[in-house]
Chains A and B, each alone.
Chain A
Amino acid sequence: MYRFRLYGASEREVLAKRLDQCLQNWSREWLGGVAKLSSSLATVDHFQPDDKVKWRGMSHHGATLAYSLSGEFSKRLALETGWCDSAVARKASSIWDETIWDCIDALARQILCPMAGESELSSASAATDLNDDSVWLMHGAGYVWYSIKLDQEWLAFILSPQVIDALLVSSSPTKTGALSSRLRAVSNGICKLELIAGVAEVSIGELHTLSPGHIIQLDKVIGQPFKLYTAEGREVSDGYLAACGNNKAVQLAK
């Protein structure tokens, strides 16, 4: 269920401020390593030149910030709604790998319009404000497409009603906001874990004579839990070996 809602000028003003705050926070936190953004977000000095559009995703208030990094269009950012996950973004980038604008446009046409029961974005029940610096396109389904011009670049946002509510309500980021948003942003990252039954120290001489039938005694005593490590070697937890269906499994103990 999507609400029909248009936003008043005062709400738009608040939204614009919130978006600017969020974008600056995100930019500093996430793009700081690869790009230097001024406080006005007017410039992005450096990205790795690459002909292909690269997508990254991160979350805040249930929305995903997707930004494309490419040599030619390195300054363009887009905030997409939460239901556009990274897989969709990747698919979109493979189809429209020229510009993030194309992606936004396609996403808007493919996703926003059907939600509002419209075939064309321009004919959807929406109100549009246009001036030299910003474009507001408030979709009848409660989604907002907001574009702002910064320097010679445009930043485009597609905001879900939930995001808008969150932006309107939250007047200032909480102390843990930056951390939690950072955690949310990496929440889809894959972490490889491995269960180690134990270790054994053997001499190279023993190793040289190792053959089928030999028994290597591990350091782990019966009853002790095994260790669960990340692939990078960091200990995550203790765990007991078990079976889960047809596979081995580990039940965490600490």
Chain B
Amino acid sequence: MSQQITGQMPMEETSVKPVKLQQIGEGQGQGQNMFEGNLSLIRDVKVKLEAVVGQTEVTVGELFDLKNQSVLQLNVATNAPIDVRLDGKVIARGHLVVVGDNFGVCIEEILPVNE
């Protein structure tokens, strides 16, 4: 008989057996997609957006020569919008603003999502 770890002793002897899983093959499923387009399922899922001001390229030598207060010019004009990026892809552009005590981005353009 298997040892019970509950404090209570069983009233009568109970049979305990291992669970056997049914073997099934891999498959794509059948019929229509179950969740297609159902945004409500994932609407609370959080994603992280990045506000990218601009880029620059430096050589490794230049990188190693950088000091405190060194200035790197970025590849964007002062009035250029900044990119809002999701998972490495730019999804929107906007301008940097102040929102209370924080920085923020005021969206100006939503970019089409390329498949």
Is the interface on chain B under 10, 10 to 19, 20 to 34, or 35 or more residues?
A: 35 or more
Interface residues of B in 56-113 (CB under 8 A from A): 56-61, 63-64, 66-78, 80, 82, 84, 86, 91-92, 94, 96-110
Please indicate the chain B residues that have their CB under 8 angstroms from the CB of A216 in the complex: 49, 51, 84, 94, 104-105, 107
Among B3-11, B19-27, B37-45, the stretch that binds chain A is B37-45
Q: Within the assembled complex, what's the spacing in Å between the Cα atoms of A63 and B46?
A: 53
Majority secondary structure of chain B interface residues (helix, strand, loop or mixed): strand
Task: Say whether B47 faces chain A, with CB atoms less than 8 Å apart.
Answer: yes
Is the Cβ of B61 less than 8 Å from the Cβ of A187? yes
> A105 → chain B, closest Cβ, in Å?
30
Is the Cβ of A249 less than 8 Å from the Cβ of B66? no
> A154 → chain B, closest Cβ, in Å?
32
Please indicate the chain B residues that have their CB under 8 angstroms from the CB of A237 in the complex: 66
Please indicate the chain A residues that have their CB under 8 angstroms from the CB of B108 in the complex: 212
> B71 → chain A, closest Cβ, in Å?
5
Is the Cβ of A197 less than 8 Å from the Cβ of B52? yes
Q: Indicate which residue in A196, A207, A211, A245 contacts B53 across the interface (CB closer than 8 Å).
A: A196
Is the Cβ of A191 less than 8 Å from the Cβ of B98? no
> B92 → chain A, closest Cβ, in Å?
6
A219 and B102 contact, Cβ closer than 8 Å, known pairs A194-B52, A199-B51, A241-B53: yes
Please indicate the chain B residues that have their CB under 8 angstroms from the CB of A33 in the complex: none
Interface residue ranges, A against B (CB under 8 Å) = 183, 186-205, 207-208, 210-222, 226, 228, 231, 236-237, 239, 241-254
Interface residue ranges, B against A (CB under 8 Å) = 39, 42-61, 63-64, 66-78, 80, 82, 84, 86, 91-92, 94, 96-110
Please give me the 3 A-B residue pairs with the lowest Cβ-Cβ distance, nearest first.
Answer: A205-B43, A187-B61, A197-B51
Q: A248-B80, A250-B71 given; name 15 further pairs at CB < 8 Å.
A: A186-B60, A188-B61, A195-B74, A196-B53, A202-B47, A204-B46, A219-B102, A220-B102, A220-B103, A221-B103, A242-B71, A244-B71, A246-B78, A247-B73, A252-B71
